[in-house]
Amino acid sequence: MTMTKLTLSKTLLAITLGSVLTTGSALAAETTTDKAQSTASSAGDKIDSSMNKVGGFMDDSTITAKVKAALVDHESIKSTDISVKTDKKVVTLSGFVESQKQAEEAVSVAKGVEGVASVSAKLHVRDAKESTAKGYAGDTATTSEIKAKLLADENVPSRMVKVETTDGVVQLSGTVESRAQSERAESIAKAVDGVKSVKNDLKVK
């Protein structure tokens, strides 16, 4: 009788322990699954966020490129002096223009580009005196360079050639010994950077 009770007690203990272990394993499995799902969800959110950031960046870059292209295509706007930046589809124009009208036209062109939400204009109208001074300095440098190249050329009597530059237009005057010297002097002047055209008034002896 005593042995039977002892056996029964052991059996119940085994069943109880088995139940506890099974329950613990189930809870552990659920906890691991929950953590895995949570991690996967978090990773997915991060990927979506990163994709949105990349997408936004690409959109801004595309808009900037389109605005620059539109400004270049506009004949009355000097786009080389205008800087374009885009942040969250808001375009900022900065730099210099020749007149207030050009500034307004630049803003209008930017607003007309697809994807632009708004335009912030930080454009400055260039001082007319400043432009004139720069033009004069450029003409002086051009004249000096042409004279130096004529002096270095063995075929042209540089001392007999007068060089004048106005707004990039070069005028050659004086007297040379042959038509070939006249053409050579003109060719040298045309090859200098900043020269728009050459007016050859050289006389042949």
pLDDT in tens, the chain (205 residues): 444 544 555 554 445 544 444 444 444 444 544 554 554 455 445 444 444 444 445 589 999 999 999 998 888 887 778 889 999 999 999 888 888 888 899 999 999 999 999 998 888 887 655 455 555 558 899 999 999 999 999 889 989 999 999 888 999 999 999 999 999 999 999 999 888 899 999 999 8
CA-to-CA dists, residue 151 to 138, 175, 197, angstroms:
20, 15, 20
CATH of domain 55-126: 3.30.1340.30
Q: Pick from 176, 175, 166, 177: which is nearest to 199 by CA?
A: 166
CB 68 within 8 A of CB 84: yes
What is the pLDDT, as a whole number, of residue 127?
Answer: 64
CB 114 within 8 A of CB 120: no
Place of tokens 């003409």: 139
What is the pLDDT, as a whole number, of residue 99?
Answer: 83
pTM of the model as a whole: 0.38
Question: Is residue 121 packed enough to be buried (19+ CB in 10 Å), middle (13-18) or exposed (0-12)?
Answer: middle
Beta carbons within 8 Å of 30's beta carbon, 6+ residues apart: none
The architecture CATH gives domain 130-204: 2-Layer Sandwich (3.30)
Q: Pick from 108, 55, 119, 114: which is nearest to 86 by CA?
A: 119
What is the pLDDT, as a whole number, of residue 98?
Answer: 82
> What's the number of CA atoms in the CB half-sphere (13 Å) around residue 146?
30
Is it true that 55-126 and 130-204 share their CATH fold?
yes
Q: How would you classify residue 194: left for phi > 0, otherwise alpha for psi between -120 and 50, otherwise beta?
A: left
